[in-house]
Amino acid sequence: MELFDVKNTKMSYNQKKIADFIMRNTTKIPYFTEQDIAIELKISIATVSRFWKVVGFKNFKDFKLHLKETLDISPANKMKDIIKKVDQNDLVWKMIDEDINHLLETRNRLSQRDIRQAVQLLNDAESIYVHAPGPSESLGKLFQFRMERFGLQVKLIAKSGHELFEQLVHIKTTDVILLFGFVNMSAEAKVILDYKKKRNTKTILITDRLVSDMNNQVEHVLYASRGEMWEFHSMVAPTAILESLIVGVGMMREDTVLETLQNLNNLRKTYATHLPK
């Protein structure tokens, strides 16, 4: 749902924070005041007040009227309402409920077209370079493990420091860069995105930000809900997106993939006595 045009509007860092907050809390915004938003984002009320004109509204009241006309009661919002009402005494069930929320929001923010284009890009790539810092490191390794089984060339870019340059120097136009970018853009991500322009390399970004500087610098943005900045960040939705990309490429290469996996199975059987589990 497009509440305002963020791509063609020049925003400051704090204004992008406000836009991202609104787009991730659409159903709650009617109950917020400008002071509430300012407190949540640790910015001034004046900054919030100036924001509405930047995105084409007279004031916050004018935006709320627009929001009221735009919002609809979707199945996902109904599900979220039910989830909030269930008993949360049990830790495991509470975590599952929260993850269901994240998955539902992610589904509503994604389009089949976004996924299809990303899958096609990965399938056609000569090599895939993955930058997966912090909590996404395990996802980067999972992606590499699965895709190499399919016969694709996947290389992990160093998380930080000068080692980053060792991989970047080999990136070509025919390659693809897959980045995980959560919360704020890191110095390493800035370097990668700047250098990829020079190499004319296509980029896919998996992110929990609906509005950020990174989003405007990549060809494909795949949003994954992980919770607000002040909440425990779940990796369930990013994992679901990553697995969708993996399965999507597997479907495009079905014959080759199945043959490779069968050969792998035969190899295990042949040497089962030499290398037991």
Q: Residues 11-45: pLDDT tens digits?
A: 888 998 999 888 888 877 887 889 999 999 999 99
* Per-residue confidence in pLDDT tens, the chain, 277 aa: 457 766 656 788 899 899 988 888 887 788 788 999 999 999 999 999 999 998 888 999 888 888 876 665 555 554 554 566 556 667 677 778 888 888 998 998 888 888 999 999 999 999 999 999 988 999 999 999 999 988 899 999 988 888 899 889 999 999 999 999 887 778 898 899 999 999 999 999 999 888 788 888 899 999 998 876 556 688 999 999 999 999 999 999 888 888 888 888 898 889 988 887 7
pTM given for the model:
0.71
Q: Residues 217-245: pLDDT tens digits?
A: 899 999 998 876 556 688 999 999 999 99
pLDDT score at 109: 87
pLDDT score at 239: 96
Written as one string, the DSSP assignment of the chain is --SS--SSS---HHHHHHHHHHHHSTTTGGG--HHHHHHHHT--HHHHHHHHHHTT-SSHHHHHHHHHHH----HHHHHHHHHHHS---SHHHHHHHHHHHHHHHHHHH--HHHHHHHHHHHHH-S-EEEE--GGGHHHHHHHHHHHHHTT--EEEPPSSSTHHHHHHTT--TT-EEEEEE-SS--HHHHHHHHHHHHHT-EEEEEES-SS-TTGGGSSEEEE-----TTSPPP-HHHHHHHHHHHHHHHHHTHHHHHHHHHHHHHHHHHTTTTS--
pLDDT score at 226: 86
